[in-house]
Amino acid sequence: MEKLVVVDNLWTGLRENLAHIQDPRLTFVEADAERFSSDFQFDEIIHFASPASPPWYMREPVRTISANLGGALNLLNLLKPKGRFSFASTSEVYGDPLVSPQPESYRGSVDCTGPRSSYDESKRCTESLLFESHRTTGIDVRIVRLFNVYGPRTRPDDGRAVSNFLSQALTHGELTVYGDGSQGRSWGYVDDIVEALSRYFWRDELTYVGPLNIGNDREISVIDVARYIEKLVPGTRIKFCPPVPQDPTNRRPDLTLCRKVLPGWEANVSYEDGVRMTLEWFRDKVGQGASTDAPSPVFDTRLAAPV
C-alpha cells in the first residue's frame, strides 16, 4: 500500500485542516522538517515547510531559515536514490522586481541582509541546493515559485493581505493598508494553485526541473483589494498605516513557461469570486471564535535613517 506521511510542526499550520481526511494511507507526524527522522526511504518528498506570511517569518527569522534550508538538507537524506524532491519556492526570489511581469530567468533584486531576507534567501539557497543535488546525484527535482496564494483554510491570524482584510472586516471593521496601497500583487486562489502543483509534481513524463512560476497573472493593487472588501462587508473602512520597509512595489508572474510545461492549466477563479468564497469561509471561522490577532509587521529601525 502506498503511504503518505505529512510532517508538520504546526507552527503556522493547523491540525484541523486535515480533520476531514480519513484515509488509512495518511499518517500525520508532528515534527520539524529539519529534525524529522524515519526508517523509510521515500520515493517522493514535497517540501512546503515554511511560514509564508511576512509578519510570521520576520518574527522568527532563524527558525524560517532552518525550516527551509535545514528542512531540505535533512529531508534529502530520506529520499530514495533518483527519487523526486519537489519544493515550494516563492516569487520573493525576485525581491522588488525591476521588470514586469517576472520570467523565471529574471535574477531578482533582493537585499540579502534586509528584513525579508530570512525568507527570500533561504528559498533561494534551497533552490541552489536542489539544483546542485540534481546535477551531482541525479535526483528528480521540481521547483515552483508561488505568487501570493490566498483562500479558505488560511488561518484568520495569518496576517497576509487578503486574510487580514477579511478578518478585520468581520471584527473591528478597520482594514490596515500599509503605505498608500499602490503596491501590486497577483493573487492566486488556492484551488487553482493546487491544481497546477498536482499537474507538475505528479506527471512522471515531465523532465523540466524548474523553476516554474505558478500564480494568477492579473495584478491588482493592495488598495483595490481593500476597496473591494470594503464594498463586500458593509461598515468596513480603510486605515492607512506606515509602509512596511522594503515592501515590494509590484509582483506579476510571466506564465509563458508554465503554459508550455502545464498545457491546459489556467488560473480560472477570478479574484472577485475567490475573495467572496474566502469571505464565506472566514465568516464561519470568525463566528466560531477563531483568533484574528495577526502579529504586526516588523519595522526594522536600522532602515529608518540613511547611514
**Interaction between residue 130 and ligand UDP (CB under 6 A):** no
**Interaction between residue 161 and ligand UDP (CB under 6 A):** yes
Cell numbers placing 8 = 508538520
Binding mask 196-235 for ligand UDP (x = CB under 6 A): --------------------------x-------------
**Interaction between residue 177 and ligand UDP (CB under 6 A):** yes
Which parts of 22-81 interact with ligand UDP (CB under 6 A)?
Answer: 53-54
The CB-of-159 to ligand UDP minimum distance in angstroms stands at 6
The CB-of-176 to ligand UDP minimum distance in angstroms stands at 4
Stretch that binds ligand UDP, among 12-20, 127-135, 170-178, 271-279 (CB under 6 A): 170-178
Nearer to ligand UDP, 74 or 183 (CB): 183
Nearer to ligand UDP, 117 or 183 (CB): 183
Q: Which residue has the cell 508561488?
A: 146
Alpha helices in the chain (DSSP H): 54-59, 61-65, 71-76, 117-137, 161-170, 190-201, 222-232, 256-261, 271-287
Query: How big is the chain by its Cα radius of gyration, in Å?
Result: 19
The CB-of-160 to ligand UDP minimum distance in angstroms stands at 3
Percent of the chain that is helix, strand, coil (3-state, to 5): 35, 20, 45
| 271 given a catalytic annotation | no
Q: In whole angstroms, give the CA distance from residue 214 to residue 252.
A: 10
**Interaction between residue 148 and ligand UDP (CB under 6 A):** yes
Q: In whole angstroms, give the CA distance from residue 142 to residue 66.
A: 21
Q: Which of 68, 117, 183, 278 binds ligand UDP (CB under 6 A)?
A: 183
Q: In whole angstroms, give the CA distance from residue 305 to residue 302.
A: 7
- Reduced to 3 states (helix: H, G, I; strand: E, B; else coil), residue 142 is strand
Residue of 57, 119, 150, 271 with catalytic role: 119
- Reduced to 3 states (helix: H, G, I; strand: E, B; else coil), residue 28 is strand
The CB-of-133 to ligand UDP minimum distance in angstroms stands at 27
Q: Is the peptide bond before 263 cis (omega within 30 degrees of 0)?
A: no
The CB-of-50 to ligand UDP minimum distance in angstroms stands at 12
Q: In whole angstroms, give the CA distance from residue 211 to residue 257.
A: 10
**Interaction between residue 176 and ligand UDP (CB under 6 A):** yes
The CB-of-158 to ligand UDP minimum distance in angstroms stands at 9
CB count, 10 Å around CB of 292? Answer: 21
Provide CB contacts within 8 A for 80, sequence distance 6+: 41, 42, 43
**Interaction between residue 178 and ligand UDP (CB under 6 A):** yes
Stretch that binds ligand UDP, among 40-48, 173-181, 198-206, 211-219 (CB under 6 A): 173-181
Positions touching ligand UDP (CB under 6 A) are 53-54, 148, 160-161, 164, 176-178, 183, 185, 222, 244, 247
The residues annotated with a catalytic role in the active site are 119
